[in-house]
Amino acid sequence: MDAAGLFAVFLLVLALVSVASHRYRVPPFFTLVGGALLFGLLSGLGLDQTVEGIVQGVGHVFSAFGIIILCGAVIAKALEAEGGIAGIVADVRRYVPNPVASAGLLGYLLAVPVTCCITAYVMLVPILSALGEERRQQNALLYLAAIASVVSYALVYPTPVVIPLVEGLGTGASLLLYNAIAVPLSLLLTALLILVVRARLGPVRFSPEPASDVAGPRLHLRAWMPFLVILAAVGAGLLARVSHVTLINLIMLAGAVTALALVASERRHAAMLAGTKHAGVIIFDLVGAGAIGSVIVMSGIAEEALAAMSGAVPIVLIPFLIAALVQTIQGSRVVTAVIVARILAGTEVAAALDPVALILMVGAGACVFSFVTDPYFWLVQRTTGDEPSVVVRRYTLPLAGLGVLILGAALLVQIVLGAGLP
């Protein structure tokens, strides 16, 4: 099938998935797997190849996130079982007096050491849900934390998004220089998010503080212990120079084991069971996104897009547009980074651009368009309880706006470091 036909099928499938989810309340796993099957058949892949792609996509996402999601959910439920969530909330209230700032900074900061924005969000859900006075405020904090976690995850080295971009496209780039640009930029965007949310919500106060918290310890160190162990494990893994796959799984296992070890023996099994149930609901939504992403990528639509763009749009916009397309197609920012690095490496596009600017452009594209194929979209939808259309307004569109701002910053970097736009 030609490029025009592939794009038409792609848009049709996205529309049908959206209608099935929004109007008929079909669970995300079935809408996404059904969308994958429909896209594969309509694009000419055939039934066998389509089902193989679905299975590969499910397996890829499960292998990438299965242990991580389970451990994050177990940590959350173990903390709940021992009152650790209340301790963390009390500490946050005491040292960061504004709940909006707390949500934004926690989302931004936690995504980097745990090297997974989804895991960071899973950990933060029970904490942030306890901060606001009402559901509207609680959901606003959840959206803010989710978006802030994506900002740091897509821009700061060494996250799984930036690492393949540095390795594939960053030849000659200084990692110190890159982070000297990426870290202030991502913090500035997070601060902008916080200001916008504060302006939209008006005065936001913490929910009433229990008397036990007022008279309690200044720092609930026991509640923070799983996170401290995770941070220590990150340092140990970096010193040992283990692979990213090894690092992210080991640090989360260390955190989960620590959390369970701190639970009283009579409550430990129940905490593990609750965490497993919660993780199962999340992971099946994620693997559905992996299924449709895998099939759409198999169709060759990304390569068709690069061929169509060459000569039709300015070279400086091609990395952003390709990344945005691949992100929309398959949903995973890590996969977007790997695929775009593979597509652009050694091309005239990569040679014409400064490597720091090029990495930022791809990171910007990875922030748009986060919709039905994005596992994070469905996780946010499930945890907030909002309709998919509301998640689009409060997660997808703000994130897309930030992607455009990152692109603007990348173009400025290209002008300064690359001696102008090609």
Q: Tell the burial category of 172 from Cβ atoms under 10 Å away from its Cβ (0-12, 13-18, 19+).
A: exposed
The string over 264-273, giving b where at least 16 C-beta atoms fall within 10 Å of a residue's C-beta and e elsewhere, is: eeebbeebbe
Q: In the structure, what pLDDT confidence band is assigned to residue 210 with cuts at 50, 70 and 90?
A: low
- Could you give the CA distance from residue 152 to residue 218 in angstroms, rounded to a whole number? 29
pLDDT digits 0-9 by tens, 241-291: 887 678 878 988 999 999 999 999 989 999 999 889 888 877 887 788 778
User: Quick one: residue 171, left, alpha or beta (phi over 0 = left, psi -120 to 50 = alpha)?
Assistant: beta
- pLDDT above 90 covers a percentage of the chain that reads 33
Q: In the structure, what pLDDT confidence band is assigned to residue 205 with cuts at 50, 70 and 90?
A: low
Contacts of 175 (CB under 8 A, 6+ apart): 157, 166
pTM of the predicted model, to two decimals?
Answer: 0.74
Tell me how crowded residue 49 is: count the other CB atoms within 10 A of its CB. 16
Q: In the structure, what pLDDT confidence band is assigned to residue 213 with cuts at 50, 70 and 90?
A: low
- Could you give the CA distance from residue 20 to residue 280 in angstroms, rounded to a whole number? 22
Helix (H, G, I), strand (E, B), or coil: what is residue 116?
coil
Q: Where are the alpha helices (DSSP H) in 23-116?
A: 28-42, 47-81, 84-95, 99-111
Q: Name which of 127, 182, 173 is nearest 153 in CA terms.
A: 182
Residue with tokens 């592939």: 6
